[in-house]
Chains A and B, each alone.
Chain A
Amino acid sequence: MDKSNVKGFLEFVYDFYRSMKAHEITLVYEGEITHQITKAFTSLTESNMAKESEANSVQKKVFHVMVECLQNISKHADSFGSDDFLFAGRGIFMVSKGKQDYHVTTGNVIENDKIEELTEMLDHINSLDKEGLKQLYKSQMKEGRLSEKGGAGLGFIDIARKTGNKLEFHFLPIDEGSSFFLLTSSVSRNA
């Protein structure tokens, strides 16, 4: 980088910092989500919440949602064939804290032919009330098999149950074969 590039880069860093502040982002990460990362992020957020004397029930909910979101990425972010590990288990993970809610947001690349199934599943979960979610969780636990990667298909249902809020999601096209899948869940701070 020559001098003007360095200046441009540092200005970008400042802009980046400011937009993190503006969106009240307390944690952001891009890359591979491993078990170690999951442990580090959850314990970091736990100790931050404890320091800020967040209600116990809120802390527990945020913890639940973080674990399930991180595991979704590590298990489901697409690898596009066994040779290309560029996207496998990778994604963006973000925690933001507003006056009213915590938001846990994930983004990862998925193959386009999975969009329909995923949309159906999320819409179905969003259409259910508390009791409906409970029944779905129970039947999924009974009938569902653990996938090769250890997913039980329960993560989204659990997030919806624990937060009591709808799962907000969006797909942005990348190219012919793939899209970026974004999901955000909020946990109310007024427990």
Chain B
Amino acid sequence: MEVIKIKGTDDTPNIILDKENGIFEISGRSLPEDVTTFYEPILNWLDDYQEEANSKTVFAFKLVYFNTASSKLILDILMKLEEMHENGKEVLIKWYYPEDDEDMEEAGEEYADIVDVPFEQVSYTL
């Protein structure tokens, strides 16, 4: 499968989707001008990946900021991962948040409530 590597900017996140090396990561800030267009290739990639997923997928979110328009797309990604989990694949979401950032921690808790997929909260120091 092709590898997706998108370098982050001050308004778009850094994204790595690499099946071969088992790296699935979204990090940084997300407030793209057009969220739908920005996240479309990511969602399409996940659709393809689902067909031939690794036996275990650890997907890391390490965001420091996302706007409300992005929050909806993040949920769409999580729902794809939930689907994989339902289809018997092993999936783990790692939600990283800066240790003093209660809002980002809470956002993770909320996603964990919405989707039915193993979810781990990890705090880190900036």
| Residue B86 at the chain A interface, CB threshold 8 Å | no
| B10 contacts A67, C-beta separation under 8 Å | no
B3 interface residue (CB < 8 Å to A): no
Residues of A within 8 Å of B, CB-based: how many? 27
Query: Given A67-B31, A162-B103: A141 and B71 within 8 A (CB)?
Result: yes
Whether, in the assembled complex, A31 has its beta carbon less than 8 Å from a beta carbon of chain B, the answer is no
Closest to B64 in A: A60
Question: Considering the chains assembled together, what is the distance between the CA atoms of A60 and B113 in angstroms?
Answer: 24
Contact between B34 and A152 (Cβ–Cβ < 8 Å)? no
From known contacts A56-B100, A150-B34, infer whether A141 and B72 are also in contact, taking CB-CB under 8 Å.
yes
Q: Which of A39, A60, A63, A152 contacts B68 (CB under 8 A)?
A: A152
- A67 B67 Cβ-Cβ under 8 A: yes
| Count of chain B residues with a beta carbon within 8 Å of a chain A beta carbon | 21
Return B112 CB to nearest CB of chain A, in Å. 11
Which residues of chain B come closer than 8 Å to A43, judged between CB atoms? 10
Considering the complex, give the chain B residue whose CB is closest to the CB of A157.
B68
Is B34 within 8 A of A138, CB to CB?
no
The reply to whether A154 and B100 contact each other, CB–CB distance below 8 Å, is no
Closest to B31 in A: A67
A155 to B67, CA, bound (A): 8
Chain A residues lying within 8 Å of B53, measured Cβ to Cβ, are: none
Q: Is B35 interfacial (CB 8 A cutoff)? A: yes
Segment 44-82 of B: residues with Cβ below 8 Å from A? 65, 67-69, 71-73, 75
Knowing A39-B10, A60-B103, A141-B75, say if A146 contacts B114 (CB, 8 Å): no
With contact pairs A142-B75, A146-B35 given, residues A154 and B103 touching in the complex (Cβ less than 8 Å): no
Does residue A144 face the partner (Cβ distance < 8 Å to B)?
yes
For A139-162 the 0/1 string (1 means CB < 8 A from B) is 001101010001110110110001
Assess the A71–B100 pair: CB atoms within 8 A.
no
Within 8 A of B (CB), among A135-188: 137-138, 141-142, 144, 146, 150-152, 154-155, 157-158, 162
Measured between alpha carbons, how far is A57 from B105 in the docked complex, in Å? 13
Q: Is A21 an interface residue (CB 8 A)?
A: no
A146 and B72 contact, CB distance less than 8 A: yes
Please give the distance in Å from B32's CB to the nearest CB on chain A: 8
Q: Is A134 interfacial (CB-CB < 8 Å)?
A: yes
Q: Report the Cα distance A146→B38, complex, angstroms.
A: 14
Interface string of B76-107 (1 = CB under 8 A from A): 00000000000000000000000011010000
Would you call A146 and B103 a contact (CB within 8 A)? no
Q: State whether B36 touches A150 (Cβ < 8 A).
A: yes
Q: Decide if B68 touches A68 in the complex (CB within 8 Å).
A: yes
A: residues with CB less than 8 A from B are 35, 38-39, 43, 56-57, 60, 63-64, 67-68, 71, 134, 137-138, 141-142, 144, 146, 150-152, 154-155, 157-158, 162
Complex A-B: 7 CB contacts under 8 Å: A35-B11, A39-B10, A60-B103, A144-B72, A152-B68, A152-B72, A155-B68
